């Protein structure tokens, strides 16, 4: 038995600390400034983006460019660019609010996200003062649009296997090779491109669309997000000035993966924005569609789906604000004027890789289920392109593929956990003694279930690591079980702690939040039980497996509650409100 000896908030620490041990930011605590910017984003999206939904989806790139410029006029484009370069340098929580609003139109959200995020941020974090001065003001205003080019036809998840090369020729770099699936390619002016110097040292470069030897492939014919441009980039002796190397030679992986980690939590925010749209039209349809003489929103199984959509939105929201709250607190306290500001900010992102990856995976998979539930509520009409669920059913699918596939993100989560256990940053308890007792507050039942789930996770993961060691990562299925348990524990804890805070503050929607958190815990504890048992079976055998499975039963002190009653109450509130009702502005 060992005790966790790190009291400090760090990545993955939630797995070994008591429920609610560290302060958790919730959307209810947003500042007035963040709400004002959120409102401006909402007005912009409702006034300019949603009315252009079908034009955007016909890949009208001039329109997308115009909308990007309008986003700047509204003050929504330069949120993360330092003030010195005509940006607003706002905190990450405000960015989260804006991204959620922009997320309501999937294609535009991808265009906006690639420009303001993975396209621009490499220059913000890794650019020289001259590069920042040359590019950031133009990117801040939307005069120029940015793209990020890592993937190649033969190097997707295995991005470091890139074949694009760069060689120095006097005062110029000469790039050769090609990139694939590049968002914004058809409208971008500037591209952050990863290539290997002399075929070996992975590095980043800034390429402009007018550089000689640079050209684009045709637009990809895609399943969804049809209004976002996706094309290949081709470099045939592409000649760029020597000064366009971004960061240091051989350090391209830090840029590529550091920026992707930021992209991950942003993607989660966008998923939740569109999920709220889905809930709105699904509620409306369920109230209008009559079968067996009554609106289908009276049927128990439809009410279950409606309340599950809201529950997933609530849980995702709780995860998102908690994660970005952690990152924001440590990142935004470092001013851009401080020494080594960029690398210190990137270190914060590296610390919270587990949380950023699980936010991406949880939110994108929640949206997948939400989109599917919506089709189901619409019945046959959900299968028709004349009705809204069909589009989001297609549009949402990309979220599980880009910014690192969900398989790769699961392996990142597990890999980080194993590493932190290996270097004793996380000390897992491998016994079943001193089980947590149930408290008395309004969320006591759910908190107790989460506390037991944490111990179950610790017990099974410690046993598997004890038997197999760091090589456990080579059993991907077992590692994914570790990642899934971590993800669901974080999700449950985020939902429960937020509900409890809302209750304490007598928030108007606190009972609604408590019901959703309780249903979520009720339905999720079993998944953790299953994953823990099979994880043990992956690592142990014979008597030691039987003994471990018996010990695991110690964490079974969980009596389920009726989900149907709680879901029915949630559905009733939703039907009355006509939308996800916990709104911040």
Ligand X SMILES: Cc1cc2nc3c(=O)[nH]c(=O)nc-3n(C[C@H](O)[C@H](O)[C@H](O)COP(=O)(O)OP(=O)(O)OC[C@H]3O[C@@H](n4cnc5c(N)ncnc54)[C@H](O)[C@@H]3O)c2cc1C
Contacts of 504-512 with CB under 8 Å at 24 or more apart are: 505/28, 507/28, 509/581, 509/582, 512/569, 512/570, 512/573, 512/581, 512/582
Q: Which residues contact 20 (CB under 8 A, 6 or more apart)?
A: 447, 493, 496, 497, 500
Distances (CA, A) of 122 to 70, 147, 165, 245: 23, 10, 19, 12
Judged by CB under 6 A, the residue of 2, 54, 128, 157 near ligand X is 157
* Beta bridge partner(s), residue 467: none
Catalytic residue among 100, 101, 403, 538: 403
How far, in Å, CA of 553 to CA of 434, rounded? 14
Applying CB under 6 A, which part among 33-41, 43-51, 127-135, 177-185 lies near ligand X? 177-185
Q: What is the 3-state secondary structure (H, E, C) of 372-384?
A: HHHHHHHHHHHHC
Task: For residue 169, report the phi and psi dihedrals to the nearest 5 degrees.
Answer: -135, 90
Instruction: Please count the residues of this chain forming the interface with ligand X, following the rule CB under 6 A.
Output: 20
CA distance 331 to 552: 39
Is 215 in a helix, a strand, or coil?
Answer: strand
Near ligand X by CB under 6 A, which window of 77-85, 402-410, 485-493, 548-556? Answer: 402-410
When binding is defined by CB under 6 A, the residue of 15, 67, 114, 139 that contacts ligand X is 114
| For ligand X, the closer CB: 24 or 64 | 64
Tell me which residue has its CB nearest to ligand X: 156
* Among the residue ranges 78-86, 142-150, 263-271, 283-291, the one whose residues contact ligand X (CB under 6 A): 142-150
Q: Nearer Cβ to ligand X, position 189 or 511?
A: 189
Residues 101/41, Cβ–Cβ less than 8 Å: yes
Tell me the window of 148-156, 335-343, 347-355, 490-498 that interacts with ligand X (CB under 6 A): 148-156
∠ CA 420-423-424, rounded to 5°: 80
Identify the residue among 94, 131, 151, 522 touching ligand X (CB under 6 A): 151
156 binds ligand X (CB under 6 A): yes
Window 359-398: contact mask with ligand X (x via CB under 6 A):
---------------------------------------x
Q: What is the DSSP string of 422-439?
A: HTTSS----S--SPPPP-
Q: Which is nearer to ligand X, 257 or 555 (CB)?
A: 257
- Of the candidates 21, 50, 216, 401, which one interacts with ligand X according to CB under 6 A? 401
* Pick 413 or 571: Cβ nearer ligand X: 413
The only residue of 17, 39, 215, 405 in contact with ligand X, by rule CB under 6 A: 405
- The tokens describing 249, both together, are 């030679």
Q: How far is the CB of 186 from ligand X (least distance, A)?
A: 12
Of 157 and 504, CB closest to ligand X:
157
Which residue, 114 or 261, has its beta carbon nearer to ligand X? 114
CB of 408 to ligand X, least distance (A): 6
**Which is closer to ligand X, CB of 176 or CB of 287?**
176
| Residue 119, H or E segment | none
User: Out of 108, 191, 205, 402, which residue is the one contacting ligand X (CB under 6 A)?
Assistant: 402
Pairing of strands 230-241, 245-246: unpaired
The yes or no reply on residue 183 touching ligand X (CB under 6 A) is yes
Which range of residues in 131-139, 169-177, 178-186, 456-464 is near ligand X by CB under 6 A? Answer: 178-186
The answer to whether residue 108 forms part of the interface with ligand X (CB under 6 A) is: no
- Give the three-class secondary structure for 561: coil
Distance CA 416, CA 371 (A): 31
Find the shortest distance in angstroms from Cβ 447 to ligand X: 34
- Only one of the segments 80-88, 176-184, 427-435, 508-516 lies at the binding site for ligand X (rule: CB under 6 A); that segment is 176-184
Residue closer to ligand X, measured from CB, 230 or 318: 230
- From candidates 97, 149, 514, 517, binder to ligand X by CB under 6 A: 149
403 a catalytic residue: yes
- Looking at beta carbons only, is 14 or 257 nearer to ligand X? 257
CB atoms closer than 10 angstroms to residue 108? 27
Residue whose pair of structure tokens reads 């070994």 in the numeric block:
16
Site for ligand X in 219-238 (CB under 6 A): 222, 230
Range 409-428, binding ligand X (CB under 6 A)? 411
| CB-CB contact of 323 with 352 (8 Å) | yes
Nearest partner of 320 among 280, 259, 273, 282, judged by Cα: 273
Residue number, 17 or 476, with CB nearest to ligand X: 476
Contacts for 186 with CB less than 8 Å, ≥ 6 apart: 59, 61, 216, 219, 229, 231
How far apart, in whole angstroms, are the C-alpha atoms of residue 131 and residue 246?
8
Contacting residue, 126, 181, 362, 445, with ligand X by CB under 6 A: 181
Q: Taken in order 462, 467, 472, 476, is the CA torsion positive or negative?
A: negative
Per-residue interface string for the shown chain with ligand X, residues 472-511, x marking contact by CB under 6 A: ----x-----------------------------------
Q: Which stretch binds ligand X (CB under 6 A): 121-129, 136-144, 180-188, 299-307?
A: 180-188
The three-point CA angle 198-204-209 to 5° equals 105
Q: Is 172 helix (H, G, I), strand (E, B) or coil?
A: strand
Active site residues: 403
Residues that bind ligand X in the complex, under the rule CB under 6 A? 114, 148-151, 156-157, 181-183, 222, 230, 398, 401-402, 405, 407-408, 411, 476
């Amino acid at each position: 038995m060992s005790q966790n000896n790190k009291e400090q908030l760090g990545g993955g620490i939630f797995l070994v600390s008591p429920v609610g041990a560290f302060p958790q930011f919730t959307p209810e605590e947003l500042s007035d400034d963040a709400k004002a910017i959120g409102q401006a984003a909402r007005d912009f999206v409702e006034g300019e983006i949603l009315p252009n939904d079908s034009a955007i989806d016909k890949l009208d790139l001039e329109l997308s460019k115009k909308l990007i410029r309008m986003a700047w006029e509204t003050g929504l484009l330069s949120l993360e660019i330092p003030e010195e370069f005509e940006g607003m340098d706002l905190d990450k929580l405000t960015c989260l609010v804006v991204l959620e609003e922009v997320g309501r139109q999937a294609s535009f959200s991808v265009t906006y996200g690639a420009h303001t995020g993975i396209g621009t941020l490499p220059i913000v974090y890794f650019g020289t003062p001259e590069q920042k001065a040359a590019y950031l003001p133009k990117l801040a205003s939307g005069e120029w649009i940015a793209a990020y080019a890592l993937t190649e036809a033969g190097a997707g998840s295995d991005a470091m296997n890139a074949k694009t090369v760069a060689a120095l020729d006097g005062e110029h770099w000469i790039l050769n090779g090609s990139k694939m699936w590049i968002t914004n390619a058809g409208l971008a002016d500037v591209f952050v491109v990863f290539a290997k110097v002399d075929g070996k040292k992975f590095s980043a470069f800034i390429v402009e669309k007018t550089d000689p030897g640079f050209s684009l492939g045709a637009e990809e014919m895609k399943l969804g997000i049809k209004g976002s441009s996706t094309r290949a980039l081709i470099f045939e002796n592409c000649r760029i000035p020597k000064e366009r190397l971004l960061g240091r030679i051989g350090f391209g992986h830090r840029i590529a993966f550091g920026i992707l980690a930021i992209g991950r939590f942003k993607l989660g925010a966008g998923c939740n924005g569109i999920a709220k749209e889905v809930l709105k039209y699904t509620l409306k349809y369920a109230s209008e569609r009559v079968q067996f003489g009554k609106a289908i929103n009276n049927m128990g199984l439809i009410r279950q789906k409606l309340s599950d959509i809201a529950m997933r939105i609530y849980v995702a929201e709780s995860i998102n604000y908690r994660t970005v709250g952690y990152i924001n607190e440590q990142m935004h306290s470092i001013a851009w004027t401080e020494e080594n500001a960029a690398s210190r900010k990137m270190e914060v992102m590296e610390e919270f890789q587990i949380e950023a990856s699980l936010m991406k995976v949880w939110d994108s998979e929640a949206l997948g289920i939400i989109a599917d539930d919506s089709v189901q509520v619409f019945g046959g009409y959900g299968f028709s392109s004349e009705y809204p669920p069909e589009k989001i059913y297609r549009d949402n699918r990309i979220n599980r593929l880009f910014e690192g596939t969900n398989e790769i993100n699961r392996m990142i989560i597990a890999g980080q956990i194993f590493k932190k256990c290996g270097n004793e940053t996380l000390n897992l308890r491998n016994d079943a003694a001193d089980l947590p007792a149930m408290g008395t507050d309004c969320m006591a039942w759910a908190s107790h279930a989460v506390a037991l789930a944490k111990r179950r996770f610790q017990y099974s993961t410690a046993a598997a690591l004890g038997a197999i060691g760091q090589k456990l990562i080579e059993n991907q299925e077992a590692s994914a079980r570790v990642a899934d348990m971590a993800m669901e524990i974080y999700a449950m804890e985020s939902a429960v702690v937020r509900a409890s805070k809302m209750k304490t503050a007598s928030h108007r929607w606190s009972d609604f939040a408590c019901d959703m958190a309780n249903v979520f815990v009720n339905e999720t504890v079993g998944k953790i039980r299953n994953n823990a048992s099979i994880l043990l079976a992956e690592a142990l055998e014979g008597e030691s497996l039987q003994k471990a499975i018996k010990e695991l039963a110690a964490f079974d002190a969980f009596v389920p509650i009726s989900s149907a009653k709680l879901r029915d109450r949630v559905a009733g509130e939703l039907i009355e409100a006509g939308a996800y009702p916990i709104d911040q502005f």
